[in-house]
Chain A
C-alpha cells in the first residue's frame, strides 16, 4: 500500500477523533471530567505525534513524488475520491501540527478552567482538520478540511477568548470564509475543465491562460486572507489578542501556514503562467506587508498584538519567497513557515506565561521581569532573537534564503525585505526591554514565580527545535529539496513553453 505498510496518514488524521469519542463518554463530577479530558487529550495528541514520527523516518527525501498515498473511490461519477498523501512540501507541516497540539494542550492545562471538556474536544478536532488539510490530495477533500478548520478555531476564540472575543471570532470567520467561497468556485471551474479533482492529475492538466488568471484571483482571495497578506491582515491581530494562549499558538503556528501552503500546492504548479503574471503584485504586497506591519508593530502597546503584527511581517517574507520561483526562495519560504510556526508559537507562550500570572498583556505594566524570573528571561531572549532572525536560531536560514532568492529576481525587492531585519530588531527589542529590563516599579511583580516544571516541559521542545533548526537546518531542508527542485523545473518548463507559444 505504501512505505509504512498501513494507512498512516488517515490514522494520524483521525486518531484525535478517537480521543474525542473517549472524552465524550466521560461522565461524573466536573473536576473529574476536566482532569480526564486533559489527560485524554494530552495522551491522544502524544500518541498521534509519536505515530506521525514514522513520516520523519520513513519519508524518502530523494523522491519528489507524493508518498504514503492512499486512495479510495468516493464519488466516482464526478471523479472525486478520498486521496491522501504527502510530499516534501507538506510532510513537515503534518509534523508541525502534531507537535504543536500536545504543547497547546499543556499550555492550557491551568489557564482554561471552564468547559474544559469542550475545549479539549475543539483542539483535537482542530488537529484532525489541520493534518487532514495538509495530507489531502483531492480538491474536495482539501476544501472540506480547509473550511472545517474554521469551526473549532471560531469556537476556541469565541468561547474561551478575551473581552472582545465575539467580535474577533466573527471577524476571523467572515474574512476567511469570504475568500473560501471564491475558492470553491475556482475548484468547480477546474473540475469542470479537467473532469477530476485529484490534485496530482490536475498537475498534468494545462489550463488556458485566460482561465488561469481568474482562477488565480479566486485562489488568491482565499489564500491571501489566510496568510494573511496586506491589506487583508487586520483580522489577525484581533483574533490573536482575543484568543486564549494556546489558540494563538496554533493560529500562528499552523493556521497561518494554510494560505502559503495553498499557494505552493495550487497556484504555483497549476497556474504557472498566472503566477508569473501576478508575481510583481505579490512582491509589492509582500514588501508593503514587511515594512508596514513592522512599523505598526513598533507602535503597539499590547504584547500579543505586537507579535501578531510581526507574524504578518514574517508571512510577507514567506509570500515573497514563494513567488521568486527559484530554489532558494521557495525553500526559504518553507523554512520560514516552519520556523515561524515554532518561534511565534513560543513567543505567544511566553506572553501567556506572564498573562497567566498578571492577567494583563500591556507592555507598560511590566518591566524588570528579568530580575525575578531569570529562566523565563533567558527563554524569552532566545525566542526574541530567533524572531529577529539571528543566525544560529531557527529564524535565520529562511530569511536568508528568501533574500538571496529575491535578489536574483529583483534586488530592490530584496532590499525591501531586508529592511524588515532592522525594523524587526526595533520592535522585538522594544518589547523585550519593556518587559524584561528596567527596574521593577510595581510591587505585585516582585511576587512572580519563575517557570514551573509544566512550563519548562512546554518550552523545552521548542527551545531544542529553535536551536536545531538554526544550527543544522539541513535535516529539515533535505525534506524540501527534491520536491522544490521538481517544482522549480516544471515551473520553468511551463513558462518557457508558454512564451514559445506566445512567440509563435
Chain B
C-alpha cells in the first residue's frame, strides 16, 4: 500500500509514455487514470492509517549512496506530514487526470501528456515521502522536470518553450541554494537523514559557520531553495509564464501541488527552523510581502489564468508567513484546503476557456453564466473559499493564519498580519472582478464564439463537482485535526514547535477582533468589486487613466521581468560572446597560434640562408674562422 501509492503513477507514466503508440490514445489515457485511481486508494488508506490512526511508518527500499560517513537510502517515510500530502496529491491528481481526458480530447498526442502528468505525480510523491534531504531533492528536481515538460507541452509554440525554460532555470537558481543548504547540513550534522538531523539539533544550536549560526544559515539557504519552487518574491517570475501549459497542468502543478513543495520543505524542517529565529523572520517577511505584492498585480491582469496564478503566488505567501511565525500546522492546513479550491478555480477556468474556444482574456468574455451554469456555480464556490468567507474551506485556514500572525506578538508577525489583511481584501476584490467580468455583463466576445459556448462534458464536470465538495467541506471537517483540539494526536510529532513558544496554544488566545476584521475586509472586497464591475463599469478605466503610472507599474508586474533581463540575462549573453570571441579565440588561442607563426617565420628566415651557392658558404666559413681565431688569440 505504502509503496503502491508512490509507484503506481510511475507505472502509469511508463505504460502511457512507452506503449502509448501501440495501445492507442484512449487506452493509454484510461490506463493512467486507472493507475492513478489505484494510487489514490492506497494514498487515502495510508492517510487513514498514518494520520488518523496514528501509525507512522518508514519503508526503506535500498541504499542510494554511501560515501564515507555520508549515507542515505531510497525510502518512503510516512508520518502525518507525508500522509497528508500523499492523500491530497493522489486524490487531486486522479481528479485532474480524469478532467484532462475531456480537456485534452482534441489534442494530437494525449498519451504523452498523460505520461508527463503521471510522471509528475510520481516525483511529487517521492518528494513528500522522502526520508532524507537528497531524496527530497530528487523529487524536487523531478517535479521541476515534469513541470518543464508540461509547460512546454505545446512545443511548437515559441512562448511555451520560453516559459518552460524560464521555469526550469529560475527553479535552478533556487536549487543552487538548496544544494548548498544540504552541503551545510551535512557539514553540521554529518548526515542528511531526517531522523539523524532532528535528533541532533540540540547539540548544534551553538555551531557557527562563517560567523553565522549554522542553523540560521541552513534555514536561510533552504528557504531560498523553497523560494524558487514556491514562487516567492524575487524568484516568482516563472509562475505566471508557466500558464502557457495546458490548464490541467496549471491546476495540478502550479496551484495544488508542486508550488507548495517549498512550504512542505519548511514544515518538514520545522525541528531545525524552530532553532533559527532569524531565518524564520526572513521567511515571514518574504512570505507576507509576496502575499501582498502578488495580490496587487492580480487586480489588474486580464488573462484569466494569470489572475489565478498571481492569486496562487499570494496564497503561498500566506503559507510561508504562517510557517514563519511558527504555525506550521496552519501553513499545512492552508496548503491542504488551498489545493482543493485552487485546483477547482483553475479547472473551472479551464472549463470557461474550453467553452470560449480557447479565449483567455476576460475583457473578451462576459454574459455567459446562463450558458455554463455548473462552471459558474463551482467558480463561485472556489472564489468564496479563496476569499475566506465563513464555512468555506479557505475561511478556517486563512483565519488561523491571520490570528497566528497577531498572536505571535512580534514585529514581523504584525507586519505579516497587515500585509495579510490587505492582501485578503485584494484577493476578494480580484476574485469577484474575475467572476463578474467573465460571467456577467454584456457578451464581449464575437458572435461566432458566443454561439459555441457550451457546458463541458461530464468527464470534466465530475472532477469539478468533487473538488467543489472538497472546497466546501475540507475546512470544517479537518479544522479540529489540523489546528483544533485533536491536533496533538493528529500530528503525532511530525511537526516540532519550541515548547517556549507554543503557537497552537497562542492561536486560541488571539484577540477577537482579528477574525471579525478578516471577514469584514473580505466581504468589503467582494462588495467593492461587485459595485465597480457590476454597476459602474466605466470606473476602472477612469481610475487607470487617472493614475497611469501606478497602473502600468502593476500591469507590468512591477517590472521584475525587465529588471532581470537587464541585470542578468542580457549581461550574461554579452559576456558569453565576449569570453568566447575575445577570451578564447583571441587571447588564449592567440598565444600558441602566435608562437606557431613566430616559429614558422623564423624557419622561413633560416631557409633563406641556405642558398646552395658554394661561394657564400665558403665566405661565411672564412669569416667564422677569422672570428674564432681572433677570439682565441686575444683571449689568451
Contacts and interface: CB of A to CB of B under 8 A. Distances in A.
Interface of A: 171, 174-175, 231-234, 292, 295-296, 298-300, 326-328, 331-332, 368, 370-371, 385, 388, 390-392, 397, 400-401, 403-404, 406-408, 411, 414-415, 418-419, 421-422, 425-426, 429-430, 433, 436-439, 471-474, 477-478, 481, 485
Given A439-B156, A477-B66, 5 more contacts: A231-B588, A299-B581, A391-B140, A429-B148, A473-B65
B165 A433 contact: yes
B377 to A, nearest CB: 39
Contact of A415 (B62, B137, B155, B180): B180
B233 to A, nearest CB: 19
- Most central of A174, A401, A421, A439 by chain B CB within 10 Å: A421
Interface string B89-113: 0000000000000000000000000
B59 interface: no
A391 B183 contact: no
A231 B577 CA distance: 17
B156 A421 contact: no
A400 B584 contact: no
| Interface of chain A, main secondary structure | helix
| Interface of chain B, main secondary structure | helix
Interface in B562-597: 572-573, 575-577, 579-581, 583-584, 588-589, 592
Interface in B449-484: none
A472 B161 contact: no
- Most central of B134, B142, B180, B184 by chain A CB within 10 Å: B180
A403 B183 contact: yes
Interface string B588-611: 110010000000000000000000
Interface stretch (B30-38, B169-177, B395-403, B627-635): B169-177
B210 interface: yes
Contacts of B184: 407, 411
A404 B186 contact: yes
Contact of B141 (A171, A327, A390): A390
A472 B62 contact: yes
A420 to B, nearest CB: 9
A475 B548 CA distance: 64
A388 B173 CA distance: 13
B577 A292 contact: no
Contact of A477 (B67, B573, B577, B589): B67
Contacts of B203: none
A332 B182 CA distance: 15
A437 B152 contact: yes
22 contacts: A295-B572, A295-B580, A298-B576, A327-B70, A371-B156, A390-B141, A404-B186, A407-B186, A418-B176, A418-B179, A419-B176, A421-B179, A422-B173, A429-B168, A436-B155, A437-B152, A438-B155, A473-B64, A473-B65, A477-B65, A478-B66, A485-B68
A384 to B, nearest CB: 10
A391 B134 contact: yes
A391 B138 contact: yes
Contact of B573 (A299, A328, A391, A439): A299
Contacts of B186: 404, 407
Given A437-B161, A439-B156, A391 B142 contact: yes
A407 B187 contact: yes
Nearest to B138: A391
B63 interface: yes
B589 A234 contact: yes
B336 to A, nearest CB: 27
B528 interface: no
B215 to A, nearest CB: 16
B201 to A, nearest CB: 19
A403 B64 CA distance: 17
A386 to B, nearest CB: 11
A407 B65 contact: no
B142 A390 contact: yes
B183 A368 contact: no
B300 interface: no
B145 interface: yes
- Most central of B63, B65, B66, B152 by chain A CB within 10 Å: B65
B158 interface: yes
